[in-house]
Structure 1
Amino acid sequence: MTEIWFIRHGETDWNVARRMQGWQDIDLNDTGRVQAGLLAARLARDAATTPFDALYSSDLARARDTAQAVSEQLALRLRIEPGVRERSFGVLEGIDLEKIDALQPEAAAAWKSRDPQRPLEGGESLGQFRNRVISAVEDVANRHHGERVLLFTHGGVLDIVWRHASGLPLEAPREVELRNVGINRVVVAADGWRIAGWGDVAHTEAEVAARDDASVLGR
Protein backbone atom coordinates (compact mmCIF):
# COMPACT_ATOMS: atom_id res chain seq x y z
CA MET A 1 0.00 0.00 0.00
CA THR A 2 1.21 3.50 -0.90
CA GLU A 3 -0.49 6.80 -0.10
CA ILE A 4 -0.05 9.22 -2.98
CA TRP A 5 -0.95 12.89 -2.74
CA PHE A 6 -1.78 13.93 -6.30
CA ILE A 7 -1.50 17.69 -6.82
CA ARG A 8 -2.44 19.65 -9.91
CA HIS A 9 -0.03 22.37 -11.02
CA GLY A 10 -0.63 26.06 -10.27
CA GLU A 11 -2.50 28.39 -12.60
CA THR A 12 -1.23 29.33 -16.06
CA ASP A 13 -2.38 32.03 -18.47
CA TRP A 14 -3.76 29.28 -20.70
CA ASN A 15 -5.91 28.03 -17.80
CA VAL A 16 -7.40 31.50 -17.52
CA ALA A 17 -7.96 31.74 -21.29
CA ARG A 18 -9.33 28.16 -21.37
CA ARG A 19 -6.84 27.08 -24.04
CA MET A 20 -6.01 23.39 -24.50
CA GLN A 21 -2.53 22.91 -23.04
CA GLY A 22 -1.75 19.21 -23.42
CA TRP A 23 1.96 18.73 -24.03
CA GLN A 24 2.58 22.44 -24.64
CA ASP A 25 5.13 23.59 -22.05
CA ILE A 26 3.32 26.56 -20.54
CA ASP A 27 4.79 28.37 -17.51
CA LEU A 28 2.96 29.28 -14.33
CA ASN A 29 1.55 32.81 -14.23
CA ASP A 30 1.91 35.15 -11.24
CA THR A 31 -1.12 33.62 -9.52
CA GLY A 32 0.26 30.13 -10.11
CA ARG A 33 3.55 31.05 -8.50
CA VAL A 34 1.73 32.44 -5.45
CA GLN A 35 -0.34 29.25 -5.29
CA ALA A 36 2.84 27.16 -5.39
CA GLY A 37 4.24 29.10 -2.44
CA LEU A 38 1.06 28.68 -0.41
CA LEU A 39 1.01 24.98 -1.20
CA ALA A 40 4.65 24.59 -0.15
CA ALA A 41 3.93 26.22 3.22
CA ARG A 42 0.91 23.96 3.72
CA LEU A 43 2.81 20.80 2.90
CA ALA A 44 5.65 21.82 5.20
CA ARG A 45 3.13 21.95 8.05
CA ASP A 46 1.80 18.51 7.09
CA ALA A 47 5.33 17.11 6.85
CA ALA A 48 6.14 18.30 10.36
CA THR A 49 3.68 15.70 11.64
CA THR A 50 4.26 12.90 9.12
CA PRO A 51 7.14 13.38 6.66
CA PHE A 52 6.80 12.62 2.97
CA ASP A 53 9.10 9.96 1.57
CA ALA A 54 9.39 11.03 -2.07
CA LEU A 55 8.34 13.76 -4.49
CA TYR A 56 7.59 13.22 -8.18
CA SER A 57 6.48 15.54 -10.96
CA SER A 58 5.43 15.53 -14.57
CA ASP A 59 8.21 16.81 -16.81
CA LEU A 60 6.14 19.78 -18.04
CA ALA A 61 7.19 23.16 -16.61
CA ARG A 62 3.87 24.09 -15.00
CA ALA A 63 3.91 20.94 -12.85
CA ARG A 64 7.68 20.87 -12.36
CA ASP A 65 7.84 24.48 -11.15
CA THR A 66 4.96 23.92 -8.73
CA ALA A 67 6.79 20.87 -7.40
CA GLN A 68 10.09 22.74 -7.19
CA ALA A 69 8.67 25.20 -4.66
CA VAL A 70 7.62 22.27 -2.48
CA SER A 71 10.91 20.44 -3.03
CA GLU A 72 12.83 23.43 -1.70
CA GLN A 73 10.51 23.89 1.27
CA LEU A 74 10.68 20.22 2.28
CA ALA A 75 14.32 19.60 1.28
CA LEU A 76 13.05 16.63 -0.71
CA ARG A 77 14.60 15.65 -4.06
CA LEU A 78 12.40 16.30 -7.08
CA ARG A 79 12.11 13.24 -9.32
CA ILE A 80 10.73 13.58 -12.86
CA GLU A 81 8.09 11.09 -14.04
CA PRO A 82 7.06 11.72 -17.69
CA GLY A 83 4.31 9.10 -17.40
CA VAL A 84 2.12 11.55 -15.49
CA ARG A 85 2.29 14.42 -17.96
CA GLU A 86 -0.99 15.71 -19.41
CA ARG A 87 -2.74 13.95 -22.28
CA SER A 88 -1.51 14.86 -25.73
CA PHE A 89 -4.42 16.66 -27.39
CA GLY A 90 -2.74 16.80 -30.80
CA VAL A 91 -4.24 19.34 -33.18
CA LEU A 92 -6.43 20.80 -30.39
CA GLU A 93 -3.48 22.14 -28.42
CA GLY A 94 -3.30 25.92 -28.25
CA ILE A 95 -6.97 26.42 -29.19
CA ASP A 96 -9.46 27.81 -26.70
CA LEU A 97 -12.44 25.64 -25.88
CA GLU A 98 -14.96 27.94 -27.55
CA LYS A 99 -13.22 27.59 -30.93
CA ILE A 100 -12.32 23.91 -31.16
CA ASP A 101 -15.59 22.91 -32.89
CA ALA A 102 -15.11 25.50 -35.62
CA LEU A 103 -11.36 25.05 -36.10
CA GLN A 104 -10.95 21.29 -35.60
CA PRO A 105 -14.42 19.69 -35.77
CA GLU A 106 -13.30 16.06 -36.16
CA ALA A 107 -10.74 16.23 -33.35
CA ALA A 108 -13.19 18.14 -31.14
CA ALA A 109 -15.83 15.45 -31.68
CA ALA A 110 -13.30 12.72 -30.83
CA TRP A 111 -12.29 14.52 -27.63
CA LYS A 112 -15.88 15.15 -26.53
CA SER A 113 -16.99 11.58 -27.26
CA ARG A 114 -14.82 10.11 -24.48
CA ASP A 115 -14.65 6.93 -26.54
CA PRO A 116 -11.48 5.20 -25.26
CA GLN A 117 -10.63 3.78 -28.68
CA ARG A 118 -11.42 6.81 -30.86
CA PRO A 119 -8.25 8.33 -32.35
CA LEU A 120 -7.43 11.99 -31.73
CA GLU A 121 -5.47 13.48 -34.61
CA GLY A 122 -1.88 14.10 -33.59
CA GLY A 123 -2.54 13.05 -29.98
CA GLU A 124 -3.41 10.15 -27.70
CA SER A 125 -6.68 8.28 -27.60
CA LEU A 126 -8.35 8.37 -24.21
CA GLY A 127 -7.60 4.68 -23.77
CA GLN A 128 -3.90 5.18 -24.51
CA PHE A 129 -3.78 8.04 -22.03
CA ARG A 130 -5.55 6.02 -19.31
CA ASN A 131 -3.17 3.09 -19.72
CA ARG A 132 -0.12 5.35 -19.55
CA VAL A 133 -1.29 7.09 -16.38
CA ILE A 134 -2.29 3.94 -14.51
CA SER A 135 0.98 2.22 -15.42
CA ALA A 136 3.06 5.20 -14.27
CA VAL A 137 1.19 5.55 -10.97
CA GLU A 138 1.50 1.87 -10.19
CA ASP A 139 5.23 2.00 -10.97
CA VAL A 140 5.64 4.85 -8.47
CA ALA A 141 3.57 3.00 -5.87
CA ASN A 142 5.64 -0.17 -6.28
CA ARG A 143 8.83 1.80 -5.64
CA HIS A 144 7.43 3.23 -2.39
CA HIS A 145 5.45 0.48 -0.71
CA GLY A 146 4.28 1.58 2.74
CA GLU A 147 5.33 5.19 2.14
CA ARG A 148 3.69 8.57 1.52
CA VAL A 149 4.48 10.23 -1.81
CA LEU A 150 3.80 13.62 -3.42
CA LEU A 151 3.04 13.57 -7.15
CA PHE A 152 2.57 16.78 -9.17
CA THR A 153 0.54 16.44 -12.32
CA HIS A 154 -2.33 17.76 -14.49
CA GLY A 155 -6.10 17.92 -14.67
CA GLY A 156 -6.46 15.14 -17.22
CA VAL A 157 -4.31 12.81 -15.13
CA LEU A 158 -6.40 13.59 -12.04
CA ASP A 159 -9.54 12.74 -14.00
CA ILE A 160 -8.11 9.30 -14.81
CA VAL A 161 -6.95 8.74 -11.21
CA TRP A 162 -10.35 9.69 -9.76
CA ARG A 163 -12.23 7.43 -12.19
CA HIS A 164 -9.91 4.48 -11.64
CA ALA A 165 -10.10 4.78 -7.85
CA SER A 166 -13.90 5.26 -7.96
CA GLY A 167 -14.64 2.51 -10.47
CA LEU A 168 -16.23 5.07 -12.81
CA PRO A 169 -16.14 4.48 -16.59
CA LEU A 170 -14.30 6.94 -18.80
CA GLU A 171 -17.56 7.84 -20.55
CA ALA A 172 -19.46 8.79 -17.37
CA PRO A 173 -19.80 12.41 -16.17
CA ARG A 174 -17.19 13.48 -13.61
CA GLU A 175 -18.57 14.51 -10.22
CA VAL A 176 -15.55 16.33 -8.76
CA GLU A 177 -13.51 19.45 -9.54
CA LEU A 178 -9.86 19.40 -10.54
CA ARG A 179 -8.56 22.52 -8.81
CA ASN A 180 -5.16 24.15 -9.31
CA VAL A 181 -2.85 23.13 -6.43
CA GLY A 182 -5.65 20.99 -4.97
CA ILE A 183 -4.52 18.06 -2.81
CA ASN A 184 -6.05 14.70 -3.79
CA ARG A 185 -5.11 11.72 -1.63
CA VAL A 186 -5.31 8.18 -3.00
CA VAL A 187 -4.26 4.86 -1.47
CA VAL A 188 -2.77 2.58 -4.13
CA ALA A 189 -2.73 -1.08 -3.11
CA ALA A 190 -2.46 -4.46 -4.79
CA ASP A 191 -6.21 -5.03 -4.41
CA GLY A 192 -7.16 -1.65 -5.90
CA TRP A 193 -7.08 2.11 -5.41
CA ARG A 194 -9.07 4.04 -2.82
CA ILE A 195 -9.73 7.77 -2.50
CA ALA A 196 -8.77 9.06 0.94
CA GLY A 197 -9.52 12.73 0.28
CA TRP A 198 -10.17 14.97 -2.72
CA GLY A 199 -9.99 18.62 -3.74
CA ASP A 200 -8.39 20.09 -0.61
CA VAL A 201 -7.61 23.74 -1.40
CA ALA A 202 -7.82 25.17 2.11
CA HIS A 203 -4.30 26.58 1.71
CA THR A 204 -5.39 28.87 -1.14
CA GLU A 205 -8.86 29.70 0.18
CA ALA A 206 -7.36 31.13 3.37
CA GLU A 207 -5.18 33.46 1.28
CA VAL A 208 -8.16 34.63 -0.79
CA ALA A 209 -10.11 35.39 2.40
CA ALA A 210 -7.18 37.34 3.81
CA ARG A 211 -6.94 39.43 0.64
CA ASP A 212 -10.67 40.12 0.70
CA ASP A 213 -10.41 41.27 4.33
CA ALA A 214 -7.50 43.56 3.47
CA SER A 215 -9.44 45.00 0.56
CA VAL A 216 -12.44 45.80 2.78
CA LEU A 217 -10.24 47.41 5.43
CA GLY A 218 -8.52 49.51 2.77
CA ARG A 219 -11.70 51.07 1.39
Structure 2
Amino acid sequence: MTEIWFIRHGETPWNREGRLQGWQDIELNTAGRDQATHLAARLAAGEHTFTALYSSDLQRAHATAIPLGAGLDLRIRAEPGIRERSFGILEGLDLHRIDELAPEAAAARKSRDPHLPIEGGESLGQFQARVIATVSDLAQRHADERILAVTHGGVLDIIWRRASGVALDGPRPVPLLNASINRIGIDDRQWQVLEWGDIAHLDTESASDIVP
Protein backbone atom coordinates (compact mmCIF):
# COMPACT_ATOMS: atom_id res chain seq x y z
CA MET A 1 0.00 0.00 0.00
CA THR A 2 1.18 3.53 -0.81
CA GLU A 3 0.65 6.03 1.99
CA ILE A 4 0.32 9.67 1.00
CA TRP A 5 0.28 12.40 3.63
CA PHE A 6 -1.56 15.30 2.06
CA ILE A 7 -0.90 18.69 3.64
CA ARG A 8 -3.08 21.74 3.07
CA HIS A 9 -0.97 24.87 2.64
CA GLY A 10 -0.67 27.39 5.45
CA GLU A 11 -2.94 30.38 5.81
CA THR A 12 -2.86 33.26 3.30
CA PRO A 13 -4.24 36.82 3.47
CA TRP A 14 -7.05 35.82 1.11
CA ASN A 15 -7.98 32.88 3.34
CA ARG A 16 -8.36 35.31 6.20
CA GLU A 17 -10.33 37.81 4.08
CA GLY A 18 -12.67 35.15 2.66
CA ARG A 19 -11.63 35.65 -0.96
CA LEU A 20 -11.62 32.79 -3.46
CA GLN A 21 -8.04 32.04 -4.54
CA GLY A 22 -8.12 29.27 -7.13
CA TRP A 23 -5.13 29.67 -9.42
CA GLN A 24 -4.21 33.12 -8.09
CA ASP A 25 -0.68 32.83 -6.75
CA ILE A 26 -1.14 34.21 -3.24
CA GLU A 27 1.67 34.04 -0.68
CA LEU A 28 1.41 32.86 2.90
CA ASN A 29 0.77 35.38 5.64
CA THR A 30 2.70 35.42 8.93
CA ALA A 31 0.33 32.90 10.51
CA GLY A 32 0.73 30.61 7.50
CA ARG A 33 4.52 30.71 7.69
CA ASP A 34 4.36 29.90 11.41
CA GLN A 35 2.02 26.99 10.69
CA ALA A 36 4.48 25.61 8.12
CA THR A 37 7.34 25.89 10.62
CA HIS A 38 5.43 24.01 13.34
CA LEU A 39 4.36 21.32 10.88
CA ALA A 40 7.92 20.78 9.69
CA ALA A 41 9.26 20.57 13.23
CA ARG A 42 6.70 17.92 14.11
CA LEU A 43 7.43 15.72 11.10
CA ALA A 44 11.21 16.09 11.46
CA ALA A 45 10.95 14.92 15.07
CA GLY A 46 8.60 12.03 14.27
CA GLU A 47 9.31 8.37 13.70
CA HIS A 48 8.01 8.20 10.13
CA THR A 49 10.24 8.37 7.07
CA PHE A 50 9.24 9.69 3.65
CA THR A 51 10.73 8.93 0.26
CA ALA A 52 9.47 11.98 -1.65
CA LEU A 53 7.96 15.42 -1.20
CA TYR A 54 5.61 16.91 -3.80
CA SER A 55 3.99 20.33 -3.89
CA SER A 56 1.47 22.17 -5.98
CA ASP A 57 3.24 24.70 -8.16
CA LEU A 58 1.44 27.64 -6.49
CA GLN A 59 3.60 29.55 -4.02
CA ARG A 60 1.35 29.14 -0.98
CA ALA A 61 1.88 25.37 -1.23
CA HIS A 62 5.57 25.58 -2.17
CA ALA A 63 6.31 27.93 0.74
CA THR A 64 4.63 25.44 3.08
CA ALA A 65 6.79 22.67 1.63
CA ILE A 66 10.12 24.52 2.00
CA PRO A 67 10.58 23.91 5.77
CA LEU A 68 9.35 20.33 5.31
CA GLY A 69 12.01 19.69 2.69
CA ALA A 70 14.70 21.24 4.87
CA GLY A 71 13.71 19.29 7.96
CA LEU A 72 13.36 15.96 6.18
CA ASP A 73 16.21 16.43 3.70
CA LEU A 74 13.88 15.98 0.72
CA ARG A 75 13.86 17.80 -2.60
CA ILE A 76 10.55 19.51 -3.42
CA ARG A 77 9.06 18.19 -6.65
CA ALA A 78 6.54 20.53 -8.29
CA GLU A 79 3.29 18.80 -9.30
CA PRO A 80 0.78 21.02 -11.17
CA GLY A 81 -1.80 18.22 -11.04
CA ILE A 82 -2.48 18.92 -7.34
CA ARG A 83 -2.99 22.64 -7.92
CA GLU A 84 -6.26 24.16 -6.65
CA ARG A 85 -9.31 24.26 -8.92
CA SER A 86 -9.42 27.14 -11.38
CA PHE A 87 -12.44 29.27 -10.47
CA GLY A 88 -12.15 31.61 -13.46
CA ILE A 89 -13.97 34.89 -13.04
CA LEU A 90 -14.76 34.09 -9.39
CA GLU A 91 -11.13 34.31 -8.30
CA GLY A 92 -10.38 37.21 -6.02
CA LEU A 93 -14.03 37.80 -5.16
CA ASP A 94 -15.40 37.99 -1.63
CA LEU A 95 -17.38 34.80 -1.04
CA HIS A 96 -20.12 36.81 0.64
CA ARG A 97 -20.64 38.84 -2.55
CA ILE A 98 -20.07 36.39 -5.41
CA ASP A 99 -23.81 35.83 -5.93
CA GLU A 100 -24.27 39.50 -6.80
CA LEU A 101 -20.93 40.04 -8.56
CA ALA A 102 -20.93 36.93 -10.80
CA PRO A 103 -24.32 35.21 -10.38
CA GLU A 104 -24.05 32.63 -13.18
CA ALA A 105 -20.57 31.45 -12.24
CA ALA A 106 -21.46 31.50 -8.54
CA ALA A 107 -24.53 29.33 -9.22
CA ALA A 108 -22.39 26.84 -11.15
CA ARG A 109 -19.94 26.59 -8.26
CA LYS A 110 -22.69 26.22 -5.67
CA SER A 111 -24.55 23.54 -7.65
CA ARG A 112 -21.69 21.00 -7.42
CA ASP A 113 -22.81 19.83 -10.89
CA PRO A 114 -19.69 18.23 -12.44
CA HIS A 115 -20.68 19.33 -15.94
CA LEU A 116 -21.44 22.99 -15.34
CA PRO A 117 -18.53 25.20 -16.45
CA ILE A 118 -17.35 28.30 -14.65
CA GLU A 119 -16.43 31.09 -17.05
CA GLY A 120 -12.67 31.07 -17.46
CA GLY A 121 -12.21 28.12 -15.09
CA GLU A 122 -12.61 24.37 -14.67
CA SER A 123 -15.83 22.46 -14.23
CA LEU A 124 -15.98 20.38 -11.06
CA GLY A 125 -15.80 17.23 -13.19
CA GLN A 126 -12.64 18.41 -14.96
CA PHE A 127 -11.06 19.26 -11.62
CA GLN A 128 -12.01 15.88 -10.13
CA ALA A 129 -10.57 14.00 -13.09
CA ARG A 130 -7.29 15.94 -12.89
CA VAL A 131 -6.84 15.33 -9.17
CA ILE A 132 -7.70 11.63 -9.24
CA ALA A 133 -5.46 10.97 -12.24
CA THR A 134 -2.54 12.80 -10.60
CA VAL A 135 -2.89 11.07 -7.24
CA SER A 136 -3.25 7.66 -8.92
CA ASP A 137 -0.06 8.34 -10.85
CA LEU A 138 1.80 9.34 -7.68
CA ALA A 139 0.67 6.13 -5.99
CA GLN A 140 1.92 4.04 -8.91
CA ARG A 141 5.25 5.87 -8.99
CA HIS A 142 5.73 5.28 -5.25
CA ALA A 143 4.23 1.84 -4.74
CA ASP A 144 4.51 0.69 -1.11
CA GLU A 145 6.22 3.93 -0.08
CA ARG A 146 5.23 6.82 2.18
CA ILE A 147 5.30 10.28 0.58
CA LEU A 148 4.23 13.85 1.31
CA ALA A 149 2.18 16.14 -0.94
CA VAL A 150 1.41 19.79 -0.14
CA THR A 151 -1.80 20.90 -1.79
CA HIS A 152 -5.06 22.87 -1.42
CA GLY A 153 -8.47 22.65 0.22
CA GLY A 154 -10.37 21.88 -2.97
CA VAL A 155 -7.95 19.07 -3.82
CA LEU A 156 -8.37 17.59 -0.34
CA ASP A 157 -12.15 17.66 -0.82
CA ILE A 158 -11.85 15.57 -3.99
CA ILE A 159 -9.42 13.13 -2.36
CA TRP A 160 -11.59 12.65 0.72
CA ARG A 161 -14.66 11.97 -1.44
CA ARG A 162 -12.80 9.44 -3.60
CA ALA A 163 -11.47 7.61 -0.54
CA SER A 164 -14.80 7.75 1.33
CA GLY A 165 -17.13 6.93 -1.56
CA VAL A 166 -19.04 10.22 -1.22
CA ALA A 167 -20.49 11.92 -4.30
CA LEU A 168 -19.41 15.40 -5.37
CA ASP A 169 -22.71 16.85 -4.17
CA GLY A 170 -22.87 14.80 -0.96
CA PRO A 171 -22.21 16.23 2.52
CA ARG A 172 -18.61 16.40 3.73
CA PRO A 173 -18.54 16.24 7.55
CA VAL A 174 -14.75 16.62 7.80
CA PRO A 175 -12.81 19.92 7.71
CA LEU A 176 -10.12 21.14 5.31
CA LEU A 177 -7.70 22.79 7.72
CA ASN A 178 -4.67 24.90 6.93
CA ALA A 179 -1.38 23.04 7.54
CA SER A 180 -3.27 19.87 8.47
CA ILE A 181 -2.07 16.30 7.92
CA ASN A 182 -4.49 14.11 5.96
CA ARG A 183 -3.35 10.52 5.44
CA ILE A 184 -4.61 8.36 2.58
CA GLY A 185 -3.76 4.74 1.78
CA ILE A 186 -3.89 3.57 -1.83
CA ASP A 187 -3.65 -0.09 -2.77
CA ASP A 188 -4.17 -0.57 -6.49
CA ARG A 189 -7.56 1.08 -7.13
CA GLN A 190 -8.64 1.04 -3.49
CA TRP A 191 -8.35 4.33 -1.58
CA GLN A 192 -8.97 4.68 2.14
CA VAL A 193 -8.79 7.48 4.68
CA LEU A 194 -6.22 6.57 7.36
CA GLU A 195 -6.40 9.84 9.30
CA TRP A 196 -7.88 13.26 8.59
CA GLY A 197 -7.46 16.84 9.77
CA ASP A 198 -4.58 16.26 12.18
CA ILE A 199 -3.43 19.63 13.56
CA ALA A 200 -1.79 18.48 16.80
CA HIS A 201 1.21 20.65 15.88
CA LEU A 202 -0.90 23.84 15.83
CA ASP A 203 -2.78 25.96 18.31
CA THR A 204 -6.46 25.29 17.62
CA GLU A 205 -7.11 28.98 17.09
CA SER A 206 -4.47 29.16 14.34
CA ALA A 207 -6.13 26.48 12.19
CA SER A 208 -8.96 27.49 9.89
CA ASP A 209 -11.37 25.63 7.61
CA ILE A 210 -11.59 28.49 5.14
CA VAL A 211 -11.93 29.11 1.45
CA PRO A 212 -9.56 27.64 -1.21
User: What is the TM-score with the length of structure 1 in the denominator?
Assistant: 0.92
What is the distance in 2 between the residues matched to 1:29 and 1:191?
A: 38
Deviations 1:141-189, CA, capped at 9 Å, x for gaps: 1110010000000000000000000000001121110000000000011
1:195 counterpart = 2:154: no
Structure 1: runs of 5 or more not aligned:
209-219
**TM-superposed deviation, 1:73:** 1.1
5+ unaligned residues in a row in structure 2: which ranges?
207-212
Aligned CA RMSD, in angstroms, stands at 1.1
Which amino acid in 2 is paired with 1:94?
A: G
Larger Cα Rg: Structure 1 or Structure 2?
Answer: 1
What percentage of aligned pairs have identical amino acids?
62
- Who is 2:21 aligned against? 21
CA distance in 1, matches of 2:128, 2:190: 16
Q: Which residue of structure 2 lines up, in the alignment, with residue 146 of structure 1? A: 144
Higher helix share: 1
1:52-85 Cα distance to aligned partner (Å, 9 max, x none): 1110000000000000111011111110100000
Q: Distance in 2 between matches of 1:28 and 1:116?
A: 30
- The question of 1:117 aligning with 2:115 is answered yes
Q: CA deviation at 1:207?
A: 9.2
Q: Does the C-alpha gap of structure 1 residues 27 and 155 become closer, same or farther in structure 2, counting only changes over 3 Å?
A: same
Runs of 4+ aligned residues of structure 1 deviating over 6 Å after TM superposition are none
Q: Separation in 1 of the partners of 2:200 and 2:21?
A: 26
Question: How far apart in 2 are the matches of 1:109 and 1:188?
Answer: 34
Report matched runs for 1:56-205 at 5 Å: 56-205=54-203
TM superposition shift of 1:104:
0.0
Number of residues of Structure 1 aligned to a counterpart in Structure 2: 206
Q: How far is the alpha carbon of 1:205 from its aligned partner? A: 2.4
TM-score, normalization by structure 2: 0.95
Residue in structure 1 matched with residue 40 of structure 2 by the alignment: 40
